[in-house]
């Protein structure tokens, strides 16, 4: 054993690759989020799988469930501590993805922390996180109903965000 810290061996050795069975298991969990397989995914989370497990593109289980329209799974993930404001590698939020896709029930679940009327057990999504923000996405797609639900205020939409013809001269955030 070296007697001085400078004499220690290199601690930056490459990490050995994960076993294929571990990679396959992770892929099954991401696919369960995409397909809304609550039974499989929630059992794994309840057994210790990290609720904020993230894939190679920075997408969490919540992001995948949100972007594919699985509101009951989104609510269940939020109740188990999923972070609705965790951005993927492209700075996108689960809420902005749900707004983009027009999944009303998912948008409501994220805004309410997983429950109706703001009674969810999970953290409520911040509509001002990400790029574009959920408010900017709602604005770009002319979703005045979402702008109201998201609590859009004057100045929430950046200068470079396109305004659809349906909103020219009308309400803007």
pLDDT score recorded for residue 156: 87
**Percentage of the chain with pLDDT > 90?**
72
Phi, psi of 54 (to 5 degrees): -125, 140
Residue with tokens 């794994």: 44
Kindly state the average pLDDT of the residues 78-94.
97
Tell which wins on pLDDT, 53 or 122. Answer: 53
pLDDT band at 30 (very low <50, low <70, confident <90, very high): very high
Q: Give per-residue pLDDT as tens, 99-146.
A: 999 999 999 999 999 866 555 688 999 999 999 999 999 999 999 999
pLDDT attached to residue 158: 77
Q: Does the structure show a pLDDT above 70 at 168?
A: no
- Provide the residue ranges of all domains of the chain, joining segments of one domain with +: 20-158
Mean pLDDT, residues 53-64 taken together: 97
Angle 66-71-75 (CA atoms, 0-180°, nearest 5)?
A: 95
Q: Do residues 77 and 65 lie in contact, with contact meaning Cβ atoms separated by under 8 Å?
A: yes
Spatial contact of 30 and 64, defined as CB atoms under 8 Å apart: yes
Q: How confident is the model at residue 24 (pLDDT cuts 50, 70, 90)?
A: very high
Question: Which of 10-24, 30-44, 50-64 has the least mean pLDDT?
Answer: 10-24
Query: Is 2.50.20.10 the CATH classification of the domain at 20-158?
Result: no
Radius of gyration over every alpha carbon of the chain, rounded to an integer in angstroms: 20
**Do residues 124 and 112 make contact, with C-beta atoms less than 8 angstroms apart?**
yes
Instruction: Tell which residue, 83, 125, 87, has the closest CA to residue 103.
Output: 125
Between CA 91 and CA 114 the distance in angstroms is 22
pLDDT top residue among 37 and 16: 37
The model's confidence at residue 172, banded by pLDDT at 50, 70 and 90, is very low
């Amino acid at each position: 054993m070296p007697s001085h810290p400078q004499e220690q061996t290199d601690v930056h050795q490459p990490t050995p690759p994960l076993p294929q069975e571990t990679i396959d298991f992770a892929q099954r969990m991401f696919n369960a989020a995409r397909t809304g397989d609550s039974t499989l995914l929630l059992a794994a989370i309840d057994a210790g799988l990290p609720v904020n497990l993230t894939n190679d593109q920075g997408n969490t289980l919540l992001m995948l469930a949100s972007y594919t329209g699985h509101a009951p799974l989104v609510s269940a993930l939020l109740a188990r501590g999923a972070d609705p404001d965790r951005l993927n590698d492209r700075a996108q939020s689960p809420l902005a993805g749900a707004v983009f896709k027009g999944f009303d029930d998912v948008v409501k679940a994220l805004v309410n922390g997983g429950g109706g009327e703001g009674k969810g057990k999970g953290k409520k999504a911040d509509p001002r996180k990400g790029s574009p923000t959920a408010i900017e996405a709602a604005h770009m797609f002319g979703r005045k109903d979402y702008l109201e639900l998201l609590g859009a205020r004057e100045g929430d939409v950046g200068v470079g965000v396109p305004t659809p013809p349906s909103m020219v001269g009308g309400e803007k955030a």
